[in-house]
Amino acid sequence: MLEIWRQWVAAFDRACEDGDWQQLAPFLTEDAVYIVAGVPFACELRGRDAVIAGFARSIAHFDAHFDERRWHGVGIREFAPGAITGRAQGWYRKGDLPPLTFSAHSQWLFRGQQLCVLTDVYDVSEADAQAAFAWLALHGEGLDPSYG
C-alpha cells in the first residue's frame, strides 16, 4: 500500500505541474469519496470524476496562485488491511510574503490496489491552522481553496 500511496502522491504532484488530472484516475475506484472537514471549504465529493474535478478546481483557484507549493506526508503509517494515515503538511510561498503553512490529519483507504476514501480533517484549534487563517485574512484575497 505504501508504494501505491507514494505513486499516488507523485502523480498528484505531476498533475499540479502539468494539469493532466486524468493521470489520477487509475489510482481511484470509480466510487471514490473525498471528504474535507473542519474548514469553511469542507466538502464531500463522490465519484472518481467528481474527486478529480474537485482537486483540479482547488489547485487552479488556490495553489496555482503561489510561486511555490510543497506538500509532504508527516508521520505516515500503514494499517493493514487497507489504510494509511498521517498528516498532509503544506508549504506555500508567494512573492516576499511570509510562507503559508498548514496541515491536515489525513487518511487514505484502499479497496484492492485503488484508493476508495480520502479524508483531510483540519483542526482549527491548532496553532498552524490559526496562523494560516490569519495569513489568508491578510494576504488571501482572490484565493479559493474550495473543491466544488
**What SS3 string covers 75-140?**
EEEEECCCEEEEEEEEEEECCCCCCEEEEEEEEEEEECCEEEEEEEECCCCCHHHHHHHHHHHHHC
Query: Residue 148 has what pLDDT?
Result: 87
Task: Please give the domain boundaries of the chain with CATH numbers for all domains.
Answer: 2-139 (3.10.450.50)
Residue-wise pLDDT for 46-78, tens only, equals 999 999 999 999 999 999 999 999 999 999 999
Look at residue 108 in the predicted model and tell me its pLDDT: 98
Whether 131 has a pLDDT exceeding 90, the answer reads yes
Cell numbers placing 50: 467528481
Average pLDDT over residues 110-116: 97
Task: Give the N- to C-terminal CA distance of the chain in Å, as an integer.
Answer: 29
**pLDDT at position 80 over 90:** no
Contacts of residue 88, Cβ cutoff 8 Å, sequence gap at least 6: 71, 72, 73, 74, 103, 104, 106, 120
pLDDT at 31: 98
The letter for the amino acid at 67 is: D
Q: Residue 49 — left, alpha, or beta (φ > 0 → left; ψ -120 to 50 → alpha)?
A: alpha
How deeply is 108 buried, as exposed, middle or buried, from its count of CB atoms within 10 A (0-12, 13-18, 19+)?
buried
- The residue-averaged pLDDT of 2-8 equals 96
Mean pLDDT of the 92-99 span: 97
Residue 89: the pLDDT is: 95
Mean pLDDT, the chain, rounded, equals 96
**Mean pLDDT computed over 92-114:** 97
Is residue 2 predicted with pLDDT exceeding 90? yes
| Per-residue pLDDT, 58 | 97
Phi, psi dihedral angles at 90 (to 5 degrees): -110, 145
What's the CA gap between 148 and 125, in Å, rounded?
25
Q: Determine the pLDDT at residue 138.
A: 97
